[in-house]
Amino acid sequence: MDFSRRTAQLLHEEHRETIAMLENLENMIARAKRAEPDASDPQTRKTLEQVKSAFEQDVSGHFAFEENELFTRLAEFGDVAIGQHLTEEHRTMLPVAEQLVSNTANAINNGFDSDSWMEFKSLGGELIERMLAHIQKEEMALLPMLEELLDPEADMELAEIYSMNQ
C-alpha cells in the first residue's frame, strides 16, 4: 500500500521492515522447535542481531514518535481514543521487548541453553503476536487517519522529525 502523505509512508515502510524481522524470528523459532538453536549459525545469528537492533533502536523510536508527535496532534483534532489505545499497547509491549533484547544479547554472546531458549521462545512468541496485531491496527486505522488529517506542511514537519530520530 502506498500513502500520499510522507509521514504515513515512512511509518508504513518501517512496519514492513518490522514484519519482515518478526517473520524471521518466527521462522527461527519454528525451525528450532524444542531444541535450542546454535547461536553461531549464520542465519540464526543474523536473525538475533536483527531482532536486537530492531527493538533497541527502531521500535522504541517509532513508539516515541507516535506518542509524542502523532497522538498529540490527533488529540488536537478531537481523536484521543486511538492514541490512548495504541499507547497502552506500547506500554504492554516495551517490557517484553526489553527482556527479549536482553535475552537476545545473551544468546549472541553465550548461545542458548535449554532454559534461556524456552524463555526466548516464549517472549518472542508473545511479542510476535502483539506486534503483528498492533501493526495491523496502525495500518488500518492510524495511517489512513494521517492521510486525511495532515496538511502538506504538517506532513513535511512530521516526516522531518521522524527522519531525524531514525
Averaged pLDDT, 48-59: 91
Decide if pLDDT at 32 tops 80. Answer: yes
Mean pLDDT (the chain, rounded): 94
What does the pLDDT average to over 36-46? 95
pLDDT at 132: 98
Per-residue cell: 56: 533497541
Summarize the confidence of residues 57-66 as an average pLDDT: 89
> What average pLDDT does the segment 23-36 reach?
92
pLDDT over 90 at 77, yes or no = no
For residue 99, which amino acid is it? Q
Which ranges of the chain does DSSP label H, i.e. alpha helix? 6-32, 42-53, 59-65, 71-76, 81-110, 114-137, 143-149, 152-164
The residue ranges of every structural domain in the chain are 6-164
| Cα dist from 142 to 5, 22, 86, 155, whole Å | 12, 21, 9, 14
Whether 60 shows a pLDDT value over 80: the answer reads: yes
What is this structure's pTM? 0.93
- Buried b / exposed e across 23-50, counting CB within 10 Å, b at 16+? ebbbebbeebeeebbebeeeebeebbeb
Kindly report, residue by residue over 98-143, the tens digit of the pLDDT.
999 999 999 999 999 999 999 999 999 999 999 999 999 999 999 9
Res. 166: pLDDT tops 80: no
The sign of the dihedral angle between the CA atoms of 8, 27, 94, 78 is positive
CA distance 84 to 72: 10
CATH code of domain 6-164: 1.20.120.520
Residues 6+ apart with CB under 8 A from 30: none
